[in-house]
A = this chain, B = another copy of it.
Amino acid sequence: MESEQEITAAYVGIGNEILSGSIQDANFHYLAQALRELGIRLMRGIVIPDEQEVIRETLDLLRGRFDYIFTSGGLGPTHDDVTVEGVALALGVRVVRHPYLEEKIRDYYGDDLDEASLRMAEIPEGAELLMHGEMSFPILSIENIFLFPGVPQLFRRKFEGIKERFRTRPYHTEELFCRRHESEIAPLLSEALDRFPSIQIGSYPQWDETGHQVKVVVESKERESVERAAAHLRKALE
């Protein structure tokens, strides 16, 4: 599935509070929808604890394999904010203080400045600062890794700010519904896959007040193939 034609991505959510169930990760689902709309295939969504070594090993696994890696969380000033250190470890670079960020932070805090807030001026050496319009603070990126804050409002605002740079050929999707057993339609789906090798088909049983149904999703970057496969399946599933 990691086809050459597709641009791929992985999401890394960093936060003990998600793993302990205190909060529900809201960024993964948002990013999944946003990337799909941009024509990018999300291949992994991984939530890990606030530990430098785990961040390092996770990025080691992902960064050579997928086109973009988006991290969420661990960018604040406290002891459990270790994303910058973890990324630096993975890339074998130092953590350095960025003069522009230091200036922004000194301006913002003024006389209230404390040492800990200057941690937020630290970057993996060589990271770029991506600015966009109304952002008060830039997004860090280094190689193919983009570092986002975990707070959902900030994650979204920042992703919206830079997302157009990622846009590629869109996916085309058609959804069909039928009230037959999934096992009954399984051979029809397999047969459609043989006939239209460029498409992907998903099949999802659902239950609601009106009973049971199966949602069948037909998808590809080739609009015509999707239309032909969906027409074929609509007939077969009747």
Contact = CB atoms under 8 A, between A and B. Distances in A.
Interface of A: 1, 13, 16-25, 28-29, 32-36, 41-51, 76-80, 109, 112, 114-117, 119-120, 151, 153, 181-187, 189-190, 193, 200-205, 207, 217, 219
A23 B204 CA distance: 10
B29 A183 contact: no
A201 B79 contact: yes
A126 to B, nearest CB: 25
A83 to B, nearest CB: 14
Given A76-B183, A78-B182, A79-B186, 4 more contacts: A76-B182, A79-B201, A114-B183, A116-B186
Contact of A184 (B42, B51, B116): B116
A42 B22 contact: no
A181 B112 contact: yes
Contact of A32 (B20, B45, B190, B205): B20
A217 B17 contact: yes
Q: Across chains A and B, which 3 residue pairs bring their CB atoms closest together, nearest first?
A: A117-B183, A21-B33, A21-B32
A204 B17 contact: yes
Given A183-B77, A202-B16, A207-B153, A47 B44 contact: yes
A208 B183 CA distance: 48
B48 A44 contact: yes
Given A116-B184, A120-B183, A182-B78, A19 B46 contact: no
A214 B217 CA distance: 43
Contact of A18 (B32, B120, B207): B32
A116 B207 contact: no
A183 B79 contact: no
Contacts of A23: 204
A1 B79 contact: no
A47 to B, nearest CB: 4
Contact of A79 (B21, B112, B193): B193
9 contacts: A16-B200, A17-B204, A24-B29, A78-B185, A78-B186, A78-B189, A109-B183, A117-B183, A119-B183
A43 B32 contact: no
